Chain A
């Protein structure tokens, strides 16, 4: 602000609109001795028609000075909290060491996506024709790098005391369940600039962002994890700008040319389902991994998706002829069963993961039964009852085989037929004489729309069988993943659990 006052000899300060016009839009120029098509070569091949790039709106009206000022302030606030938490041994005030499984999943699965987002928004900041979306993309690119850094900094304090945080980037590239978020984002990175805007800008950042991030952050708040809550909200304050970029992107494409509408609709259909499948990991996190529950997956889905998006946003987009995403009714029908199916699978495979799992306690089961009155007692309680008998007999079980993965979302075949929660859903498609398996109508539709793309998927289980993952045995593969003693398996009696008990026993004895 002071810069403008000093530098300008004009009697009056410019308004926000004028400043944005002068400092963001007016810095652009028309190329004269190079064909614009050579300057921006990537914005035609997807078949999107843009008539007038100046029609792109940026309601935030950000300028470089305002951006730097507020981002610096956000970082200052965050680092003050990190210092305070570390200095006061804040990790000992968490609800339980098992809470950190949610954060391990976050660091391994989400933080590397922030970095990929940083890269691709930097690409958009160069390659979109209009100065408005280029500047918004530049800001988002820098934001995403900030998120990567602040998340790593924040969680590095947990890495001093707990397992599973030490090798997140290598794990992201190699471990089976992390191929779910990684391949999701890889799919978006391998798309053209406009599809990426709908995939990440719109579907991920607007449609699903509250399901993805707010549960983590409110979960952190409820479980005594002040630094995570703070970086989360600090990142989310940027996220509201990202949501706006996504929403402006879709409106812009729809308003520029009617011929864009069917292409955009197909991208919404694809990217809703792709993103929704990634949220399966969040669903189990909310209902099973948080020791103190914030809200159930079902509640979060109803509030953030059905209420806000289907009733609010899609009613608005109907104006352009856009309909709610294809297969959305399958997602709604799954809301009472999703988290239970996913956690039951992760429980049985956590010997090969970089987090730990446990049978729900009696109190936790009571909450599950009350929150899911239609499904928990009827379908899932008996699994856990049986497992408790196994454990009493000394046999906590892990699945020793490897699961068939979905060719598109890369999640093991654990989902059930629509309307029949006891029959596993598996779809088969053929492409060039080979058979490919998908987990749902949604993923099959996506596969058959672009089979050339999905046949190239790097499926962790196939790769293990092909000998690309360190060797044929579980210890070979875990060593190749970079998983160490204490990272995986049963939580009760694990390294983290034993240390937690010790630290808390000490504090009773010594009074500190």
Chain B
């Protein structure tokens, strides 16, 4: 495991054709994140904070995407969902 002091947050996403765009968008928005492939799912971890933006996903997908759709992709997460509005989803620890 990592020995860094910054606590990680993370999200597990179902591996699928459509979610590949979501994963790519997350990678671009969060340069410090680490992407691991596990059976059937993709695990993304990031120190402190992970952001998923509508803009970046729409660009990768080439179509409109509402943040509610993230519910179709997410399998599990750790951290706290700090914000989930029309434009972005933020996962971070509170304290």
Contact = CB atoms under 8 A, between A and B. Distances in A.
Interface of A: 1, 15-17, 59-61, 66, 70, 73-74, 209-210, 213-214, 217-222, 229, 233, 236-237, 239-241, 243-244, 247, 251, 294, 302-303, 307-309, 311-313, 315-316, 318-319
Most chain B CB inside 10 Å of its own CB: which residue of A236, A241, A294? A236
B8 A319 contact: no
What 4 pairs between A and B have smallest CB-CB spacing? A221-B40, A319-B95, A59-B81, A221-B39
Given A15-B85, A237-B14, A307 B76 contact: no
Contacts of A315: 7, 93, 95
B68 A66 contact: yes
B40 to A, nearest CB: 4
Contact of B72 (A74, A218, A244): A74
Contacts of A236: 12, 75-76
Nearest to A309: B78
B77 A316 contact: no
A256 to B, nearest CB: 16
A298 to B, nearest CB: 12
A15 B77 CA distance: 25
A312 B7 contact: yes
B1 A241 contact: no
Nearest to B14: A233
Contacts of B81: 59-60, 244
Contact of B74 (A1, A73, A240, A247): A240
Given A218-B40, A302-B1, A16 B75 contact: no
Nearest to B83: A59
Contacts of A316: 7, 80, 93-95
Interface range on chain B (Cβ under 8 Å from partner): 20 to 34
A210 B75 CA distance: 10
B29 interface: no
22 contacts: A17-B85, A61-B84, A70-B68, A70-B69, A210-B76, A214-B12, A214-B41, A218-B38, A233-B14, A236-B12, A236-B75, A237-B14, A237-B71, A240-B76, A294-B38, A294-B39, A307-B1, A307-B8, A311-B7, A312-B9, A316-B80, A318-B95
A214 B94 contact: no
Contacts of B38: 218, 294
B77 A240 contact: yes
Interface string B11-28: 010100000000000000
A222 B82 CA distance: 33
A74 B74 CA distance: 12
A251 B79 CA distance: 13
B85 to A, nearest CB: 5
Contacts of B8: 307-308, 312
A319 B94 contact: yes
Contacts of A74: 72
A307 B41 CA distance: 19
A303 B93 CA distance: 18
Contact of A15 (B39, B69, B86, B93): B86
B67 interface: yes
Contacts of A229: 40
Contact of B78 (A73, A294, A312): A312
B84 A218 contact: no
